[in-house]
């Protein structure tokens, strides 16, 4: 979901105007409502969710916080450091977290999305701090309105629990198999993964506008408003 900020005549509002607009959406809890309204319009235009759904997640980096160890300890405990004044509290992001991926450390949030295979439209989304594992919000991303019950996802979503839950919910799982040191994938399993990848790769087109983007908004709700 994106907006054109140009006013009549082609004039673009200044940054402050855009910030105030987004703040009002956040304060009034309208981001999700606007997203739902947009999906209704998309469906009405003939682009209903079809051919199954693809689920994936990407890290959204934000500027790192320069806190002391004691400040970080208090933040992790759910407290606001006593030394911070009101102005400093407004400038500090206490909801973002560190995580490691492929041996590299990242700081920020994670954008979890479900797109329909046919049109690559985001149907469901969840924004979390970066350390939340992809599989933890899998069920929240399931789109009941898709015309097909197939679900594609990478190996991060493969678990005994999900393997059992998806058929029970009448979904057809198309989740990548994961090799281990003791059990590498055989040729049949590798070929099955390659076939799944041809479909799952469609979600990367959507993430091209989100992944590796440095978002300077503070707080989980504001970050979500910038991404969807």
pLDDT digit string, tens, across residues 186-206: 999 999 999 999 999 999 888
Residues 123 and 211 placed together within one structural domain of the fold: yes
Residues 109 and 23 placed together within one structural domain of the fold: no
Q: Any bridge partners for residue 10, and if so which?
A: none
How confident is residue 227, by pLDDT bands cut at 50, 70 and 90? low
Cα–Cα distances in angstroms (integers) from residue 149 to residues 38, 156, 174, 201, 214, in the given order = 23, 20, 10, 18, 34
pTM over 0.85: no
Residue 7 has pLDDT above 60, yes or no: no
Q: How many domains does the chain have?
A: 2
Residue 46 has pLDDT above 70, yes or no: yes
Residues 193 and 153 placed together within one structural domain of the fold: yes
Domain that holds residue 138: 51-227
Residues 170 and 73 placed together within one structural domain of the fold: yes
Residues contacting residue 158 through CB under 8 Å, at least 6 positions apart: 175, 176, 177, 178
* 97 neighbors 220 (Cβ within 8 angstroms): no
How confident is residue 176, by pLDDT bands cut at 50, 70 and 90? very high
Find the angle CA(78)-CA(79)-CA(85) to the nearest 5 degrees.
Answer: 140
Residues 58 and 104 placed together within one structural domain of the fold: yes
Q: Among 15-24, 151-160, 215-224, which range has the highest average pLDDT?
A: 151-160
Residues 149 and 185 placed together within one structural domain of the fold: yes
How confident is residue 153, by pLDDT bands cut at 50, 70 and 90? very high
Please, which contacts does 157-163 make with residues 24 or more away whose CB atoms are closer than 8 Å? 157/55, 159/135, 162/135, 162/138
Residues 31 and 64 placed together within one structural domain of the fold: no
CA atoms of 74 and 225, how far apart (whole Å): 27
Residues 12 and 101 placed together within one structural domain of the fold: no
Residues 69 and 141 placed together within one structural domain of the fold: yes
Strands 104-116 and 53-61: antiparallel
How confident is residue 28, by pLDDT bands cut at 50, 70 and 90? confident
Residue 1 has pLDDT above 50, yes or no: no
Greater pLDDT, 40 or 76: 40
How high is the pLDDT of residue 174? 94
How confident is residue 217, by pLDDT bands cut at 50, 70 and 90? low
Residues 99 and 185 placed together within one structural domain of the fold: yes
How high is the pLDDT of residue 10? 56
How high is the pLDDT of residue 12? 52
Report the interhelical angle of 31-44 vs 220-227 (nearest 10°).
Answer: 20
Residue 169 has pLDDT above 50, yes or no: yes
Residue 49 has pLDDT above 90, yes or no: yes
Q: Mean pLDDT, to the nearest integer, of 87-109? A: 82
Residues 164 and 62 placed together within one structural domain of the fold: yes
Residues 82 and 12 placed together within one structural domain of the fold: no
């Amino acid at each position: 979901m994106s907006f054109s900020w140009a006013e009549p005549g082609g004039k673009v509002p200044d940054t402050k105007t855009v910030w105030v607009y987004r703040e009002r959406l956040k304060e009034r809890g309208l981001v999700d409502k606007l997203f739902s309204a947009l999906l209704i319009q998309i469906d009405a235009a003939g682009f209903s969710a079809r051919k199954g759904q693809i689920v994936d997640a990407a890290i959204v980096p934000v500027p790192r916080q320069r806190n002391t160890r004691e400040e970080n300890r208090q933040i992790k405990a759910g407290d606001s450091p006593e030394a911070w004044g009101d102005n400093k509290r407004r400038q500090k992001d206490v909801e973002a977290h560190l995580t490691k991926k492929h041996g590299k450390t990242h700081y920020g949030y994670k954008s979890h999305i479900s797109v329909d295979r046919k049109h690559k439209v985001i149907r469901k989304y969840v924004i979390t701090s970066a350390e939340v594992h992809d599989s933890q919000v899998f069920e929240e991303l399931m789109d009941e309105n898709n015309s097909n019950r197939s679900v594609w996802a990478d190996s991060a979503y493969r678990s005994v629990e999900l393997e059992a839950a998806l058929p029970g919910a009448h979904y057809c799982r198309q989740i990548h198999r994961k090799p281990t040191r003791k059990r590498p994938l055989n040729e049949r399993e590798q070929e099955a993964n390659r076939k799944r990848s041809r479909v799952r790769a469609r979600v990367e087109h959507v993430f091209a506008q989100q992944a590796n983007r440095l978002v300077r908004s503070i707080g989980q709700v504001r970050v979500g408003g910038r991404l969807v």
